[in-house]
Structure 1
Amino acid sequence: MNTFSKKLERDGIHSHVLKKDTLDLLNQKNYKEALLNIVNLLKLNKSGQTFLIRGPSGCGKTALIADLHKEQYLINSISAVELQSFNLSKAEAVTQAVRKSIRLRIKEIIKVIEGEITNLTSSKLSLKTLDMESTFEIGDKMLQEIQKEKIVVGDVVRIIKERGKIIKLGISASKMDSEFIGDILSVPCPEGEMFKTIEDVQLMTLHDIDCLNNKTHGYLGIYNGETGEISSEVRKEVNKRVKKWILEEKVVLERGLLIIDNVQILHKDYFYLFNNSIEFTFDPVILMIENFTDTLQSSTGLLSSAFVINVDQINDNDLKDVIRAHIETENVDFDSNVLDYLNDLALSYGINYAINIIDLYVVKSLKQANTKIALEEVKTLVSLFLDVNRACDTN
């Protein structure tokens, strides 16, 4: 990967708060403590808690919770706009959002074949371990899997025959050389028998299982998202079956985190529906994010039981520190007048806008091999790329 490609790997729209020590730069230590408590709820697999994060626009509410995605838990993030734009009824959209936030860890013992590929044709596959070698006939479905996974001679693979699935474990250490680049895993050639029995873990959300049992769209709904309305009878049967699996210790239910951004635009009906769709045994942790507004109906059932986390506005000095930290991570030089101008932009149009202008400049400067931010060029970008409010004023 060349330098230009590496530099274009963006950190995401809210990356301004994911830089080193930014939580401390923003003086949002109380917020940080609250998020740690939410993570602890996920660790303990506890349910039934609802949190509401409130603060002015641009203070880093959404950005700071982006750090939660680094945790190894189920995180289902949606925006209120997205929730309302689904081609579904309000009740169905809410129910799907909740059930996508709860998953099952399904354990089963399966038989597999493991080895290093020594020969591969359109009809046969030869594998070896340190102790044996064998050749297998393959069909069209397995050949398609091999082509999809870009598997070649020298790869170490695991074949799950009953599922028609082949998994690339890595490249045999004996085949690796200095010409291989990228994140390619080197693995030793397996020892002993090719045929093994292993414990396999599959992760599926309740919504996935709903789709599998929905005769209207079936399993295709998992992949194309077009599930349509799933009947209450299907979900009742799924719930009954899942409870049975839990009692039989075949599955472990893991409660995830449902994050809903910009909830201030939601009609109060959605909050009632969220409250009603959460069951005692199947309920995720819900984290709502709201820009300060008087329109939110705090009397609704879900909100009346929510823990509120207030986030303060970023002051001028902290804002400048965040912008400076972001520029420094891009490895470009800048003068104090550039920093002052970007800080004024953030105060006037929001921190996201200022950060996005920096990112646009970095992309432009990489092509021109510039190493220092020029104030006039930044002003040119600001005149070309307007924020929403200025764009509306010009119409």
Structure 2
Amino acid sequence: MAEIKLSDSRDLTRIERIGAHSHIRGLGLDSSLEPRSVSDGMVGQLPARKAAGLLLHMIKSSNVSGRAVLLAGQPGTGKTAIAMGMAKSLGADTPFASLSASELFSLDISKTEALTQAFRRAIGVRIKEEAEVIEGEVVEVQVDRPATAGVAAKTGKLTLKTTEMETVYELGGKMIEALGKAKVQSGDVIAIDKVSGKVTKLGRSFSRSRDYDAVGSQTRFVQCPDGELQKRKEVVHCVTLHEIDVINSRTQGFLALFTGDTGEIRSEVREQIDTKVAEWREEGKAEIVPGVLFIDEVHMLDIECFSFLNRALENEMAPILVVATNRGITTIRGTNYKSPHGIPIDLLDRLLIITTQPYSEHEIRQIIDIRCQEEDVEMAEEAKLLLTKIGVDTSLRYAIHIITASALACQKRKGKIVESEDIRRVYELFLDVKRSTQYLMEYQSQYMFSETEDADEEANTMIS
């Protein structure tokens, strides 16, 4: 008899990757916009964070748009961290678009088109519309499953109630699936969109809350809805102008958002969309939400891009532009002229400049503590002190890179806590910039295309 093998089934879970700034939760400000020394994953840089907090307050109050801010400082002083903190503090409704300036030179579309798309990705439109909604507390969910799979469709009943009425609804296959995906159970307060059939879980009913109930910290308790079950409600959708552009410029419509290949969008399409959005604003159906566009390593842009940014910032629907650079006085790309930060003076004059300062030894130690916690690495006190000294002598980035590598070295020797010997082992294996430069100067004659006199003499002797 042939052996029947059952296929393995696994739960699909989202993989959380630990990035360079995954520990950032916000800007770490209190209610009066004063920065705390250590908060939300942010350490130090108090004046820079306070300035970013003021800008954030202006964005949230919608009093400012079309402004530009420059984050300038040495490498590894937390410029991108401040930008990420701003993104987290803005919330889900305010769009935050991020790109690196060097990306523009590796795309199939023109630089100005790529910048236009980035600008429109950072401008949100809050569209309001009325919808028929069934809203109530779930009394009971009954699903009748057929005895033999595949013979008949599932059927069921859903009992919903408000403070004034109770109704039983017959359920079809799609509705049963939607309720199953939302994990709806008795005692939940839900809203069902009549047109799309979308099920939204609003929370648990207060009447079902008990001290002994096992519920998570994220569970919301809400009152049982009053009035009738069927209501007309105002539904708010938040989309970006770029998403509207893509949907209206491609034959496949909404699916074009998932294909990735947006290509160049004709200016006529954008003009029509801007006119339509302006009409919606006048009618009170839509509201413009200027977001934030963050451009890292802005010195990599050329003079054409800078000229475009000058003009784009004057548009009435421009987002807040935040740019970052670690360059001093350097050549403006595309010209022979030098300028502070590699940015033309006319654009530099439009920027509010926020500077970041190098971290102190105490601040480096606090950052190492946060990163050890984020990367789930247990480290001895002596090892942290040694890593702090390495961070001061070399760079903070190098010290942070060593954390995971030293944890792997600790695993290899079957240890549980990272000790100083693990840090030393990894320090010997991986060079920092200073030691690498020193090694290069010692052995540069043995490298290819060395331009030193010794190398030239050696080459001459080989030829002769």
State yes or no: 1:312 paired with 2:357.
yes
Within 2, Cα distance between the matches of 1:92 and 1:228?
Answer: 9
Within 2, Cα distance between the matches of 1:207 and 1:222?
Answer: 10
| Secondary structure of residue in 2 paired with 1:219 | helix
Q: Counterpart of 2:61? A: 44
Whether the 8 Å CA contact 2:134–2:230 is kept in 1: the answer is yes
Q: Counterpart of 1:77? A: 98
TM-score (normalizing by structure 1): 0.81
Unmatched segments (≥5 aa) in structure 1:
1-7
Deviation at 1:261, TM superposition (A): 1.3
Within 1, Cα distance between the matches of 2:293 and 2:311?
Answer: 15
Task: Give deviations 1:181-227, integer Å, cap 9, x for gaps.
Answer: 56344445444421122222221111122123223442123344332
Within 2, Cα distance between the matches of 1:120 and 1:81?
Answer: 57
Within 2, Cα distance between the matches of 1:349 and 1:10?
Answer: 26
Within 2, Cα distance between the matches of 1:368 and 1:140?
Answer: 56
The residue type paired with residue 350 of structure 2 is S
2:295 is matched with which residue: 252, 260, 268?
Answer: 260
2:134 is matched with which residue: 90, 113, 125?
Answer: 113
The residue type paired with residue 164 of structure 1 is G
Structure 1 residues 1-395: aligned runs within 5 Å: 12-14=19-21, 21-22=37-38, 28-45=45-62, 46-68=64-86, 69-72=88-91, 73-117=94-138, 118-121=140-143, 122-130=154-162, 131-138=164-171, 141-152=174-185, 154-172=187-205, 174=208, 178-181=213-216, 183-278=218-313, 280-293=315-328, 294-296=330-332, 297-299=342-344, 302-324=347-369, 326-327=371-372, 332=378, 334-336=380-382, 338-347=383-392, 350-358=395-403, 372-382=417-427
Within 2, Cα distance between the matches of 1:109 and 1:55?
Answer: 49
Bigger mean CA deviation after superposition, 341-350 or 256-265: 341-350
Deviation at 1:287, TM superposition (A): 0.4
Whether the 8 Å CA contact 2:121–2:241 is kept in 1: the answer is yes
Deviation at 1:10, TM superposition (A): 7.8
- CA separation of 1:161/1:331 partners in 2, compared to 1, >3 Å: closer, same or farther? same
| Secondary structure of residue in 2 paired with 1:62 | helix
Deviation at 1:388, TM superposition (A): 9.0
Task: Give deviations 1:247-280, integer Å, cap 9, x for gaps.
Answer: 2222221111111112222333332333344452
Whether the 8 Å CA contact 2:37–2:44 is kept in 1: the answer is no
Whether the 8 Å CA contact 1:58–1:352 is kept in 2: the answer is yes
Within 1, Cα distance between the matches of 2:249 and 2:20?
Answer: 36
Q: Counterpart of 1:5? A: none
Whether the 8 Å CA contact 1:155–1:168 is kept in 2: the answer is yes
Task: Give deviations 1:51-73, integer Å, cap 9, x for gaps.
Answer: 11111111111113322122333
Identity of aligned residues (%): 31
Whether the 8 Å CA contact 1:271–1:303 is kept in 2: the answer is no
Unmatched segments (≥5 aa) in structure 2:
1-14, 29-35, 144-153, 333-341, 441-446, 448-464
Q: Which has the larger radius of gyration?
A: 2
Deviation at 1:22, TM superposition (A): 3.6
| Secondary structure of residue in 2 paired with 1:314 | coil
Indicate the structure whose relative CO is greater, using CA pairs within 8 Å and at least 6 residues apart.
1
Whether the 8 Å CA contact 1:15–1:63 is kept in 2: the answer is no
Whether the 8 Å CA contact 1:129–1:192 is kept in 2: the answer is no
Comparing both structures, which one devotes a greater share of its residues to helix? 1
Within 1, Cα distance between the matches of 2:379 and 2:190?
Answer: 47
- CA separation of 1:81/1:141 partners in 2, compared to 1, >3 Å: closer, same or farther? farther
The residue type paired with residue 339 of structure 1 is K
Deviation at 1:235, TM superposition (A): 0.4
How many corresponding residue pairs?
A: 387
Deviation at 1:138, TM superposition (A): 4.8
